[in-house]
Structure 1
Amino acid sequence: MNDNIVFSDDNMLFAEEYNHETELIDESWKILIADDEKEVHSVTKLVLSDFQFQGKGLKFYSAYSAQEAMELMRKNKDIAIILLDVVMEEEDSGLKVIKYVREVLQNNDVRIILRTGQPGQAPEKKVIVEYDINDYKEKTELTAQKLYTCIVTSLRTYRDIKTINTNKKGLDKIIQSSSRIFQIQSMTKFSQNVLIELSSLLNLNKNDLCYQVSGFAATKDENDFYIFAATGDYSKYIYNNVKEVVSLTLYSKLYKAVNETKNIFSENEIIMFFKSQSGLENIIYLKSNKKINDIDINFIEIFCNNISIACDNIYLNKEIENTQKEIIFTLGEIVEARSKETGNHVRRVAEYSKLLAQKYGLNEKECELIKLASPMHDIGKIAIPDNILNKPGKLNDKEFDIIKNHCVTGYDMLKNSNKEIMKTAAIIAHEHHERYNGKGYPNGLKGEEIHIYGRITAIADVFDALCSRRVYKNSWSVDESVEYIKSEKGEHFDPVLVDIFTANIDKFINIKEQLKDYN
């Protein structure tokens, strides 16, 4: 393999001493010279002054004692080579540095070349066996050419070790990132997290503080792509049309990826396109201010394969979720149909309940659970005889006792499931007729003894029942229904929820208008 090595011949030419504080190119191989003789530092820097390996020069650090060497190693974890003297302030100073680097700092990447002018102090055989060093040289044998050779072989080894470690970190990162990606079920959050994980993947093992990644995730509506997640230079463009943000050249590249349904990689840009089975089209764009190398691209391609699988999984899970929702709503509507109350009652109760839960401050997961589970609040009515369920007049005490049994019946039907939706539905079915003052049924629970799911659904159910026509009554106006709920604050209903309800009544009315009865 051509390592692009450039160096002078074996003749030592005197020149101005190299100053390690002089500004270098952005990337250099870092070398620590640890020796108590200043002349050794000067000669080493002079000999290696025009050295290059793979297009990168050298940056030198100087230490004149073991303590200085250890401190420099602690602060600079990316030093590639230590040219280490054995005898400095103490006879075994260099050996102490070796133990510190390998055992305390746990740095097994740096190549340690032990140089000694007193081989008797640290015999080669003993040191090679007992200390983790990579080469042993007597200063008298280390000519300019041999120093070149030693540095080249050490850098080549250091490079290969770093490549192996980067590959390992990259694969570990892909496994971790893929695991997180596979847990996400929202396509929007999925794309946002893909952007985050890819940015992290590109920054892997980059020590340069100037290394920056900018990019965005965009999804297509009916006409064009819009940015919904962004980082770096694009952070201020969230919700903007991609066409209004990027150059015409980049816009053409993006649509090339879309039209050819493929990913595009260039020296400092990545364009990823993926499409769900439902037809949703997404673009991930990333640009770096440094070159994206082959290792980066290999990691990204592996990650892309996992993204494609995860994208399909989201679609399949969404299909299953939508099917479950339809089954739940259908079960609720079957009960309503038996009551001769066709319409969108269960769907309105679901939306009312979710809105109340959000305004109350429950987390997103619980709000969605309440929405999914609340349509089954009256599932127990399936066991109530038609002559009682559809009686147009007032129920007698015996009939009312039978009606009240639907809470327990519904609970018994749902309680044994290990699914969160069914567990939530069991709570709601059991407790949505409890009253805040303790005079409800079936268990006479009071105040916060009633689960918040039950307290929320109680308001949603009663509000919609009051506003709807029933076999035993005509519909009330919204104003009459609201006044009734306000009058039952602290009696039938949780006072905090009543206040939330009345403060957001416009939103409830909007839901009511959007989900009007179809009969």
Structure 2
Amino acid sequence: MNLKEMIQQLSEYAKGMSVLYVEDESLIRINTSMLLESIFSDVTTAENGRKGLELFEKKKFDIVITDILMPEISGIVMIQKMKEINRTQPFIVTSACEESSYLLELINLGVAQFLLKPIQSEQIVQILYEVVKNIYNERKVDEFTTQLKQDLLHQTTLLEQYKEIVDLSSIVIKTDVNGNIIYVNELFSKISGYSFEEIITHGHKLLRHHESSTEFYDDLWKTILSKKTWNGIIKNLRKDGSHYISDTTIKPISDEFGDIIEYISISNDVTELFDLNEEIWQTQHEMLSLLGEVGETRSQETGNHVRRVAKYAQLLGELYGLEEEEIRLLYSASPMHDIGKIGISDAILLKPGKLDVDEYEVMKTHSTIGHNILKNSSRPLLKAAAIIAGEHHEKWDGSGYPNALQGSKIHIYGRITALADVFDALSCERVYKKAWPMEQIIDFVSQERGRHFDPDLVDMFMENIDRFKEIAAKYQD
């Protein structure tokens, strides 16, 4: 960088800066001040140390440039007194060779910049460039720090308000990396009934509901340990023994290196919503059960038939590994399996003896009738009921009706209800037959493995036959 470029850059850095120049020799003071005024917009001069000190006491200067040997007060004494006013004040000292004995004293005062007389333009520009650039950079750092502090204060204020909103509306729990609870908010204590001290002392075991499996929590921990966010529904125990249900999000909190340092859980109490949904579900289940009973009453079946079929279907769904929601659908929809019988005439439906070929063909239409009654609904429960009504007489080997579906092309709801319905029909007395002994029913089901029934379902049925017998005994006619 040449002198001209340096002066231009120096002028940019020096904008808004003020200089006090103290020199007792008038010619040097006039010439040097002219150079300074070409760089700085605010230049003040003084002819001696006393005058310079008076000016300094009245006004703040960014840079003080001073001679050493001056009348009334020397440059060294003036600097000492100025340092008492502002210990960080930057100084540039001009000196002749014979004044070098004062240099150590000035260095001890913290003066680091010296100009040798006679002052050369290049020399003073270079020194000013270094001093001014340092002041400029310090100011930028101060401005940035001030702005950063303001931004931090602003963000902290916002975060405090956000936290207040979250604390008022959500259940908040924080744990350490090992899952030990380290913080709960007031809403948690209000909803759970546990104090901060109780939950800190005893931990999550106070909240764990017996319906929440070990696998459920294993999956939760596996998710958050992999630094992923977990979201789900958790059923918790209150202190009074009742429960509350929360829609919960758990977020791992990491440090700047990506290591997990804690976990935060934000939950909303959705107990009322779940209770309402449960009431709606139970109402739907009860309505479908009653409708199923109406259909069965026409064919002189008891209401317990549909209850047993529902329980058998529920158990088979659990054994088969269906999701909880599907098991609920299966349980509530299976009572509608014979709803199509409302379209069959009494002459056929109530005939005490065996149906002839034509009558049997009419009877078989109850599957299609039931399916057609329910098929246009968009509700999951009625859609499931339509499937069951239409497919519960299909057979694994394709010999069933109404569509001769085969194997897994038969919906699992139809396959399960088929076994449940046949098991109950054989074990109970009907207008056209006597009840079979249990051993004979078991033999029949075993023989129909892979023919009438899904082989896997038959295996599960056989392995858990005592549980099916318990249902039969509990809901007997």
How many Å apart are 1:363 and its aligned residue? Answer: 1.2
SS in structure 2 of the partner of residue 135 of structure 1: helix
Describe the superposition over 1:141-171 as per-residue Cα deviations: whole angstroms up to 9, x where unpaired.
xxxxxxxxxxxxx868745522422533675
Give 2:255's aligned residue: none
- Cα distance in 1 between the residues matched to 2:414 and 2:242: 37
Write the mapping of 1:340-419 to structure 2, written as runs, cut at 5 A: 340-419=300-379
Write the mapping of 1:89-104 to structure 2, written as runs, cut at 5 A: none
Asked whether the equivalents of residues 218 and 282 of structure 1 are also in contact (C-alpha less than 8 Å), the reply is: no
Give 2:14's aligned residue: none
Q: CA RMSD in A?
A: 4.4
Give 1:120's aligned residue: 133
Asked whether the equivalents of residues 392 and 472 of structure 1 are also in contact (C-alpha less than 8 Å), the reply is: yes
Match of 2:407 among 447, 454, 459: 447
Describe the superposition over 1:271-296 as per-residue Cα deviations: whole angstroms up to 9, x where unpaired.
x9799xxx957699xxxxxxxxxxxx
How many Å apart are 1:208 and its aligned residue? Answer: 13
Percent identical residues: 41
Give 1:425's aligned residue: 385
Give 1:324's aligned residue: 284
Output the amino acid matched with 1:212. Answer: I
Q: Which runs of 5+ in 2 are unaligned?
A: 1-129, 211-236, 247-264
How many Å apart are 1:217 and its aligned residue? Answer: 10
Instruction: Name which one, 1 or 2, has greater alpha-carbon Rg.
Output: 2
Match of 1:212 among 148, 169, 182: 182
Asked whether the equivalents of residues 273 and 283 of structure 1 are also in contact (C-alpha less than 8 Å), the reply is: no
Output the amino acid matched with 2:454. Answer: D
Higher helix share: 2
Q: So what's the TM-score if we normalise by structure 1? A: 0.50
How many Å apart are 1:469 and its aligned residue? Answer: 0.9
1:239–1:479: structure 2 CA closer, same or farther, 3 Å change rule? farther
Give 1:133's aligned residue: 144
SS in structure 2 of the partner of residue 198 of structure 1: strand
How many Å apart are 1:388 and its aligned residue? Answer: 0.4
How many Å apart are 1:316 and its aligned residue? Answer: 2.6
Q: Which runs of 5+ in 1 are unaligned?
A: 1-116, 137-153, 178-196, 242-271, 285-299
- Cα distance in 1 between the residues matched to 2:273 and 2:337: 31
- Cα distance in 1 between the residues matched to 2:431 and 2:180: 72
Give 1:168's aligned residue: 162
Q: So what's the TM-score if we normalise by structure 2? A: 0.54
Asked whether the equivalents of residues 214 and 234 of structure 1 are also in contact (C-alpha less than 8 Å), the reply is: no
Give 1:486's aligned residue: 446
- Cα distance in 2 between the residues matched to 1:218 and 1:430: 50
Output the amino acid matched with 2:172. Answer: L
Asked whether the equivalents of residues 181 and 203 of structure 2 are also in contact (C-alpha less than 8 Å), the reply is: no
SS in structure 1 of the partner of residue 144 of structure 2: coil
Query: What is the count of residue pairs matched by the alignment?
Result: 300
Match of 2:469 among 505, 509, 519: 509
Give 1:198's aligned residue: 172
Deviates more, 1:360-369 or 1:495-504: 360-369
Asked whether the equivalents of residues 180 and 203 of structure 2 are also in contact (C-alpha less than 8 Å), the reply is: no
Match of 2:421 among 461, 476, 489: 461
Give 2:10's aligned residue: none
1:283–1:342: structure 2 CA closer, same or farther, 3 Å change rule? closer
Asked whether the equivalents of residues 172 and 184 of structure 2 are also in contact (C-alpha less than 8 Å), the reply is: no
How many Å apart are 1:322 and its aligned residue? Answer: 1.7
Asked whether the equivalents of residues 365 and 402 of structure 2 are also in contact (C-alpha less than 8 Å), the reply is: yes
How many Å apart are 1:449 and its aligned residue? Answer: 1.2
